[in-house]
Amino acid sequence: MIIRHTIDPDKIHMNPQQEDLALLKSLLEIYDQKYIGSYLNEVSPGEWCRETINRWMNGKASPRLSHHELEALKKLLPAPPANHPEYEFDFIDLFAGIGGIRRGFEAVGGRCVFTSEWNSYALKTYKANHYADPDFHSFNEDIREVTLSHKEDVTPDEAALNIDRMVPDHDVLLAGFPCQPFSIAGVSKKNALGRAHGFECKTQGTLFFDVARIIEVKRPTAFLLENVKNLKSHDKGRTFKVIMETLDELGYWVSDVDVTGTPDPKVIDGQHFVPQHRERIVLVGFRRDLGVHKDFTLRNIDQFIPKKKLRLGDILEKKVDDKYVLTPKLWEYLFNYSIKHKAKGNGFGYGLVTGKDITRTLSARYYKDGSEILIDRGFNSAKELHDPENMKNRPRRLTPRECARLMGYDKPDGSEFHIPVSDTQAYKQFGNSVVVPVFEAVAKLMKPRIQAAIQAKKNTQKKRNSNGRRAQPGSSLKEHEGDPLKKHKA
């Protein structure tokens, strides 16, 4: 489903009552009725509550917002970037999560024109923090509704037309796609039906297939694909091999693809930017025919690593609610669990850290017990676990705000990033996300090549126009044999 941003009050011509309701509906995509009611009640004490909002939404009441109330609600929507409306390139954000990769590319002048994310809670956080221009941006919840990959009776040409219709033209494709094994089962059946060969056979049924189809149809200048480090070894290396073969088949050069050993520049550790050990594989690709990829390497990301290392202590909040301190029962369980596995020679156990340490990787399961990153509050290993002082100084979890800082969404002492969801959902979201400064650094590396490619395409279009041929947005310098749209665009 494609969802346009509900409202931009400055651009949409409505009567005041329609404008109020449209704004409210837009905000309820992010916040619940209780939050909006409480927020308005702070602006106009005694005037608003959850029930008032509920009655309004159900058509049982028609309250009018005062000027101050309207302006206060508008502030809950994210503001445009400082450079708006002047952007240097367009990009799309697939499997977007809460927008970590987007933030990196927006920081270097990019404009997001399309977002796809299926998780409703992640979308709330995304919409709370990222501006959606109603004239240029759209949301999609299920990428398969774009590629039609879940419908077996759809031909490749029909799927291509749907992709071209639903996905705006863009210069860069961003995707943090899930890691899934590929299967070549069903190839004979596809051959019998006259279906496409190549990557479509190998990747069908995976979400990477959807990414590949969009790349094939829209032909972006460049892409960035992000995944866990283990993508290289997943399914005994077959998954990575198929991905590389697919990208090559589509006409793209991938940075540092020939590096197989250690260190691998494609694997970037977040601890160079934040106090967290977090390795992710980053695949940067450029269209070969545009000739802008020469000498590009992710090794050059070193020039953007901060000279001053951020310490864990720099991101910790001064005052923390007691609810984040482990209960005596949970602390005892984790403590004994660690001893048990150490005795067996296993490395399982909690990660107790101080303000000077680099943490382990924050995971999506952090909400369960927080064991991978526990903040030391004065535990003395020389004393017994049940010593009164040790039990008083039980470790604590990170707060969601500290997670936002640890992932680079906030500055070390900042709190600008909006967290409109429960602690449980916030932990899942940050644990599934990326270290933002890593991708801002990659975006800085890519930007000159993106700009050069955009100029190369413009020059090609001018040349074609001068030769009496109609310019075709997104097409390569030479005909791309795998482009299923070429017959429709002729």
Provide the residue-wise pLDDT of the chain in tens; the chain has 490 residues: 444 444 444 444 678 888 899 999 999 999 999 999 999 999 999 999 999 999 999 999 888 999 999 999 999 999 999 999 999 999 999 999 999 999 999 999 999 999 999 999 999 999 999 999 999 999 999 999 999 998 989 999 999 999 999 999 999 999 998 766 544 333 344 444 454 434 455 555 588 989 999 999 999 999 999 998 888 888 888 888 989 999 999 999 999 999 988 899 999 999 999 999 999 999 999 999 999 999 999 999 999 999 999 999 999 999 999 999 999 999 999 999 888 767 666 666 799 999 999 999 999 999 999 999 999 999 998 999 999 999 999 999 999 999 999 999 999 999 999 999 999 999 999 999 999 999 999 999 999 999 999 998 888 888 888 876 544 444 433 334 444 333 333 3
Instruction: Name the CATH superfamily for 89-306+436-489.
Output: Vaccinia Virus protein VP39 (3.40.50.150)
Looking at the chain, the domain(s) classified CATH 3.40.50.150 span 89-306+436-489
Cα→Cα distances 289→69, 242, 251, 285, Å: 54, 22, 8, 12
Residue 284 and residue 254 in contact, taking contact as beta carbons nearer than 8 Å:
yes
Q: What's the CA dihedral at 204, 208, 209, 215 to 10 degrees? A: -170
- Find tokens 């690593």 and name the residue: 305
Give CA–CA dist 371/317, Å, rounded.
19
One-letter identity of residue 436: V
Quote the tokens at residue 371: 């064991």
For the record, the structure tokens of 115 come out as 């977002």
Report the relative pairing of strands 2-4 and 138-140 from DSSP bridges. antiparallel
Structure confidence at residue 1 (pLDDT): 45
Which tokens in the block code for residue 457? 């395409």
Kindly tell me the sign of the dihedral angle through the C-alpha atoms of 465, 467, 472, 473.
negative
What pLDDT is attached to residue 468?
Answer: 64
Beta-carbon-side half-sphere exposure of residue 303 (alpha carbons within 13 Å): 8
Where in the sequence numbering do the catalytic residues fall?
179
Beta strands in 266-357 (DSSP E): 267-269, 279-287, 352-353
CA 369 to chain centroid = 25
* pLDDT value for 459: 86
Note the pLDDT of residue 19.
87
- Residue 468 CA to residue 466 CA, distance in Å, equals 5
Q: What is the rounded CA–CA span in Å between residue 108 and residue 440?
A: 7
Handedness of CA 449, 453, 291, 198 (dihedral sign): positive
Q: What phi and psi, each to the nearest 5 degrees, are found at residue 200? A: -65, -30
Q: Are 386 and 447 in contact (CB under 8 A)?
A: no
CATH code for the domain defined by 313-431: 3.90.120.30
Backbone angles phi, psi at 286, to 5 degrees: -130, 150
Distance CA 7, CA 436 (A): 28
Distance of CA 408 to the CA centre of its chain: 13
Residue 119 CA, chain-centre distance (Å), reads: 12
DSSP state of 417: S
Helix (H, G, I), strand (E, B) or coil at 194: coil
**What contacts 332, CB < 8 A, 6 or more positions away?**
385, 386
Burial classification of residue 145, based on how many CB atoms lie within 10 Å of its CB (0-12 exposed, 13-18 middle, 19 or more buried) = middle
Token look-up 């089962």 returns: 185
Neighbours of 367 (CB within 10 A): 18
Could you tell me where the DSSP H helices lie in 194-327?
199-203, 207-218, 238-249, 312-315
Q: CATH 3.90.120.30 in the chain: give the residue spans.
A: 313-431
Q: What is the pLDDT of residue 187?
A: 37
When computed from its CA atoms, the radius of gyration of the chain, rounded to whole angstroms, is 25
For residues 7 and 28, the answer to whether their CB atoms sit within 8 Å is no
Distance CA 178, CA 182 (A): 12
Distances (CA, A) of 127 to 5, 91, 421: 9, 17, 12
Closest CA to 99 of 75, 117, 86, 76: 117
Q: Residue 441 has which token pair?
A: 């650094």
Query: Structure pTM?
Result: 0.87
